[in-house]
Amino acid sequence: MKKTESHLIFGGCQQVWQHHSNTLDCLIAFSAFIPSKAETEPCPVLYFLSGLTCNEQNFTTKSGFQRYAEELGIIVIAPDTSPRGENIADDPNYDLGQGAGFYLNATEEPWMKNFKMYDYITNELRQIVKENFNTNGKQGIFGHSMGGLGALVLALRNPDIYQSVSAFSPILTPSIVTWGEKAFTAYLGNNKDDWKQYDPMQLILSGKVANEILIDQGLADPFYPAQLKPEMFADACKKMGINTTIRYQDNYDHSYYFIATFIEDHIKFHAKNLSK
């Protein structure tokens, strides 16, 4: 690994690292906030997955999470959203290709060689974090939009790995909205049964569980309700007995101003669950 940035902030250290990923077959970057507490004792790890067009910098520089992660002693890891590079498949549209990995393992050409963000996050990145940072084995995950979708999918499919999950404005029913239909068709093919493993609502209805889910949704979000469908997800969680809190926030949109406003609540939510 190569450290490309290091900044003191609120007493902790905000870093950016770059490494060659064997899973993605390319160079990839992730940011790592290391609280001062990690200098003397192991800390829990919280992963943040960003949305379409983002990389490891958006959440790191815009959300203000470091103040609360330092106070609560949480290591926070924010990876890029997809493989990148001159030899990596791409698309001219913002919602497919580089910057739009959708946190799945692609099975269709030309994507299947590199677009394996599901395996990268759950296996390779997790091992890198374990080997290089002072962690205590407790792990949570959250994200925004496409990243909220990814966080819920990874948590629901891997409850032994992620003990806590939350999301901002997540894509909750990707199989029936245009963002998801486009990406899933390209990455996974036309068999919609193959899509269900990356669809939070379908995972809930199939019996996957989480101890507790927190979601914040802005009511001035231009992608709500056409792309995000929180009401449908809430109905599925109620039907299956999943403890889910969806907070609808008046006048808030889809931006990082929205995330920055409620990031303290989410960091505290994860700190509570990761301390159990």
**Residues involved in catalysis:** 145, 221, 254
Question: Cα 249 to chain center, whole Å?
Answer: 21
Q: Quote the CA–CA distance of 226 and 102 in Å, as a whole number.
A: 18
Q: Write down how long the chain is.
A: 276
| Amino acid letter for position 244 | T
Two structure tokens written together for 135:
């962690």
| Complete DSSP assignment for the chain | -EEEEEEEETTEEEEEEEEEETTTTEEEEEEEEE-GGGGTS-EEEEEEE--TT--HHHHHHHS-THHHHHHHT-EEEEE-SS--STTS---SSTTSBTTB-TTSB--STTTTTT-BHHHIIIIIIHHHHHHHS-EEEEEEEEEETHHHHHHHHHHHH-TTT-SEEEEES----GGGSHHHHHHHHHHH-S-GGGGGGG-HHHHHHTT---S-EEEEEETT-TTTTTTT-HHHHHHHHHHHT--EEEEEETT--SSHHHHHHHHHHHHHHHHHHHT-
Q: Pairing between strand 135-144 and 244-249?
A: unpaired
